[in-house]
A and B are shown apart, each in its own frame.
Chain A
Amino acid sequence: GAGVSQSPSNKVTEKGKDVELRCDPISGHTALYWYRQSLGQGLEFLIYFQGNSAPDKSGLPSDRFSAERTGGSVSTLTIQRTQQEDSAVYLCASSWGGGRGYYNEQFFGPGTRLTVL
């Protein structure tokens, strides 16, 4: 079956421009996560959506970052006024359920490589 897909696969932008990154989770998965991975670093959690609940934005590094999830499916991560330190691979993952008390395997997409010049 189809896995998590992300688009674009690569994005090059100029400092100060806004970018939108898209994630299509696995159909039926209620939980969706965004992470970013800077060069040579581990993954950094950004934001978490669970069903129709308000998202947990505790990992967003600044107010330039925002995300939404429409219809409980597709999600868009928006970075406004991009900075060079925003350059990283942005990964999306989805799972059947969420919440700390619920075990669930996270399925990751291939990521979007963002380069800010």
Chain B
Amino acid sequence: DAKTTQPNSMESNEEEPVHLPCNHSTISGTDYIHWYRQLPSQGPEYVIHGLTSNVNNRMASLAIAEDRKSSTLILHRATLRDAAVYYCILRVGSGGGADGLTFGKGTHLIIQP
């Protein structure tokens, strides 16, 4: 699976927007971009995913670069509950074989009150 690169940590203030970057320069045409987050002492939870177009849901927005070599997860108004490790993951969109997610180190998001 193609590799992703994320900053180790980021810090933001409560009620401000947060932009979490992810680089995936070796992404293939069939790879989907997924984001999960892991709150302290919990299992990961799905946030959002996309292929080419920008995506919005109740949790966040995903902005995908035109060449798809990078993407940005956008939390429009961060709260203290958004403090977590955010993982950017590429999932192959075709073919068979194992379907396990490949998690990197992720970005540790710190929210200041």
Q: Is the interface of B mostly helix, strand, loop or mixed?
A: loop
A43-B44 contact, Cβ under 8 Å, with A100-B91, A103-B32: yes
B92 touches A100 (CB 8 A): yes
Q: Are A35 and B93 in contact (CB under 8 A)?
A: no
Chain B residues within 8 Å of chain A by Cβ, number: 25
Interface residues on A, range: 20 to 34
Inter-chain residue pair count (beta carbon < 8 A): 75
8 Å CB interface, A46-90 against B: 46, 48, 50, 56, 58-59
Residues on the B chain within 8 Å of A110, using CB: 42-43
Q: In the complex, what residue of chain A is closest to B95 when comparing beta carbons?
A: A100
CB-CB under 8 A from B99, the residues of chain A are 31, 33, 48, 50, 56, 98-100, 104
Interface residues of B (CB under 8 A from A): 32, 36, 42-46, 49, 87, 91-106
